[in-house]
Amino acid sequence: MKNFFCFILFSILLSGCAPAPQTAILTPKPSVKAQPTTLPTATAKAQKTQASGASPSPTNQPHPTYTAETWKEAPIIPSQISASALEIYRRGQALGNNPHRFIKVGDCDATPTWFLGDFDLGTRYYSLGKYQSLQVTIDYFQGSFSRESVAVKRGFNAAAVLSPMWADRSQCQKGETPLDCEIRINNPSFALILLGTNDIHNPEQFEPNLRKILEQFITKGIVPVLSTKADNAEGDYQMNLTIARLAQEYDLPLWNYWKAVQNLPKQGLQEDNIHLTFAPNVFDNPANLQAAWPWRNLTALQMLELMRQSVAP
């Protein structure tokens, strides 16, 4: 009961997302020279592996464990996905998962109004600039960008995603969690997990709940992509460290979004040090690239491109 009230209180305090403008973009005026280091378009030389019916357990491959400092050096986009992730994908294809579908799991910052939705609306709403190659990935996953995921909601934390209490009763079956429901409805091959900000009042439950989410995806043959968050609401980056360590432990793709915003003004955060600064998805306008949202959407596309190239070169 205590955890329940903490969740409600924290949702009210931290999770308010004002509506983002969703209008056709203006012609870019590239008058600002400063911008973060250009990110490379993801390319992948996928490792080959034989089907082995892997269980949803951490990989046994030896590797160094991320520390409170070393996770910050993880690449924004990995150079390739692991053999373990490819095996998850192949098992999912045998189960009938749709290779052209991904889902989002998170709070209000994962809703299509803010996150990726423009890429289902047509090129009046975005400009790729020198990242034109990403259009292939946009076309490949068409329909997933603007989907209103039932595993995304204002105030969601890892516990809420796993609780039938928070399922959308108009779409979900009796006893389904938001995660169960979204998987059933959308039948995806990939999942973007954007959690952590709303978990800081119950931090000891974040890791076990995130493990449950990962293991459910792995069992169903859905490749989970773990994203670090830009904020440090907890004060010691513990949530990001947990996210990075679990990605490493389960040999899953890590999208280190935190690193992508470190060169931005105020590290891409608004005055509350939680919400991201906004600009339209015009990637050939340096002024827009001083805000965090274009970088979140751009790097998400690059991660999705890595997934697509790995499984469908």
**pLDDT of 35 above 50:** no
Average pLDDT value for residue range 127-140: 98
Residue 60 has pLDDT above 90, yes or no: no
Would you list the domain boundaries of the chain? 65-311
Instruction: Compute the distance between CA of residue 135 and CA of residue 220 in angstroms, rounded to an integer.
Output: 28
pTM listed for this prediction? 0.84
Tens of pLDDT, residues 262-304: 999 999 999 999 999 999 999 999 999 999 999 999 999 999 9
pLDDT tens digits for 70-123? 999 999 999 999 999 999 999 999 999 999 999 999 999 999 999 999 999 999
DSSP structure string for 106-169 = ESGGGSTTTTTGGGGS-TTS-B-GGGGGGHHHHHHTTTTTT---TTB-TT--HHHHT-GGGS-T
- Residue 311's pLDDT band, with cuts at 50, 70 and 90, is very high
Q: Who wins on pLDDT, 38 or 259?
A: 259
Evaluate if residue 157 carries a pLDDT over 70.
Answer: yes
Is the confidence at residue 125, as pLDDT, over 90? yes
Encode pLDDT of 192-243 as tens digits.
999 999 998 889 999 999 999 999 999 999 999 999 999 999 999 999 999 9
How high does pLDDT run on average in the chain? 86
Give Cβ neighbours of residue 111 (< 8 Å, ≥ 6 apart): 17, 117, 148, 152
The pLDDT value recorded for residue 115 is: 98
For residue 177, the one-letter residue type is T
* pLDDT value for 312: 81
Domain 65-311 CATH assignment equals 3.40.50.1110: yes
pLDDT surpasses 70 at 24: no
